Amino acid sequence: MRQALAEAESAADAGEVPIGAVVMHMVTEPQVIGTGFNRREQLQDPTAHAEILALRSASKHLGRWRLQDCLLVVTLEPCPMCAGALWASRIGGVVQGASNDEAGALGTFYNLGQDPRLNHEFPVQRDILEQECSHLLRSFFEQRRNRT
């Protein structure tokens, strides 16, 4: 989660909403194989969320789209788009920091990771370094409000 927080700080430094994600390959020694932070403004791409970019990076690294032996670590609970991408990638599991009270799709509003109607389910570990993840987001938006 510390590396995901570092990615989130990179997002904040770039003027992006501070959300960061890393994908870890869990076969032998856990190894980071993909990273990402929000880049929607920079890329002018509505899909450029931290999770999507980290999944793309990990898939490129492994040369495959199935990530069943990987774990995504993300600072904020994924939205429905990102939770759908996690499902589509067959991710092995997710570790998340803060809950997403606006659009959380891994337990807050929806639970796409553990919906038996879908053909892939994955475990979700919640609230890891939650205070640090939440603080980074709150600080970012407070600074934005104070600039206007």
Side chain identity at 71, as an amino acid letter? L
How many Å apart are CA 89 and CA 106, to the nearest integer?
15
Backbone phi, psi, residue 134, to 5°: -65, -40
Neighbours of 119 (CB within 10 A): 7
Told to judge if 121 belongs to the known catalytic residues of this protein, a careful annotator would answer: no
Q: Which of 51, 77, 102, 121 is catalytic?
A: 51
So which residues are the catalytic ones?
A: 51
